Amino acid sequence: MTLVARSNERLRAIDDELGGETLCVAANVSNADAADSVVSRTLDRFGTIDGLVNNAAVIPPFASLADAPVIDVVASMDANFYTALHLSRAVAPTMVQHQRGSIVMVNSAVVRHPKPLFGAYNVAKHAMLGLARSLALELGPAGVRVNTLAPGKIAGERLDSYFVLRANELGVSVESIRDDYAARLALRRIPSSEEYADVAVFLLSDLSRAVTGHTLDVNGGEYFD
């Protein structure tokens, strides 16, 4: 397995958690040459690539698309779209050569329900959805599948920070904000990052071998679409 991130510290932490059997590459794959280098090093180490999970994401400052600085829109496209484009293009030749492979785009619920003030993020994630569908059509004849995972809220530090922000704005407890959100979900709880990872593994595996070009909503039952 190859892990890619911009931070060596983050890579080391995940590598330790997985037992130190991974190839860790610190790179900014919004650059096509960096993505090609990651794939080259992976092939040198493992000989082939069976699956790719595009999980890079950055939420730009909250602003309407009509007012957002162009630099924020560009940054959103770099992090949320071009990383997936470059890595997917880089792994495609070896997957086509071996006539198998699975690419998973970790997207967002905004492709179902765009949100105000998320303009640059909405645009980038919809571009990623178009990328997944186009690649599914192009690579399907070679046995390569491309699917989209659309998460809702994910339990963890980032969401906890949002709950703290909302609690301070409204003058209520963090627990009340968390409980209120969970109550809107059919499961009455906020899914964990591990549960989202399980769905990505499903889309990578042969259990989903007849599934391609699909968007799988993973949101604890926040909505049914």
Q: What is the pLDDT of residues 182-212, one digit of tens each?
A: 999 999 999 999 999 999 999 999 999 999 9
What integer best gives the mean pLDDT of the chain? Answer: 92
Nearest C-alpha neighbor of 126 from the set 110, 149, 115, 142: 110
Q: Does the pLDDT of residue 10 top 90, yes or no?
A: no
First to last CA, the chain: 33
Structure tokens, 46: 């493992």
Q: Which amino acid is at 66?
A: A
In this predicted model, what pLDDT tens digit does every residue of 32-64 receive, in sequence order?
999 999 999 999 999 999 999 999 888 777 888
∠48-51-52 over CA atoms, to 5°? 115
The answer to whether 181 is a known catalytic residue is no
Give SS3 for 182.
Answer: helix
For residues 104 and 39, what is the distance between their CA atoms, to the nearest angstrom? Answer: 16
The per-residue pLDDT for 158 is: 81
Average pLDDT over residues 161-173: 89
Nearest C-alpha neighbor of 43 from the set 98, 86, 104, 84: 98
The per-residue pLDDT for 6 is: 86
- What's the burial of 6, exposed, middle or buried (CB within 10 Å: 0-12/13-18/19+)? middle
Query: 82, 121, 181, 196: which one is catalytic?
Result: 121
Pick the CATH number of 50-154+191-218 from 3.40.50.1700, 3.40.50.720, 2.40.280.10, 3.40.50.261: 3.40.50.720
Q: Return the domain boundaries, the chain.
A: 1-47, 50-154+191-218
Please report, for residues 109, 155, 177, 196, the alpha-carbon distance to residue 188 in angstroms, rounded to integers and kept in the order given. Answer: 18, 13, 13, 16
Confidence of residue 219 (pLDDT cuts 50, 70, 90): very high
Q: Does the pLDDT of residue 7 top 90, yes or no?
A: no
Average pLDDT over residues 146-175: 90
Share of the chain above pLDDT 70, in %: 100
The per-residue pLDDT for 205 is: 96
Would you say how long the chain is, in residues?
Answer: 225
Confidence of residue 138 (pLDDT cuts 50, 70, 90): very high
Average pLDDT over residues 56-78: 87
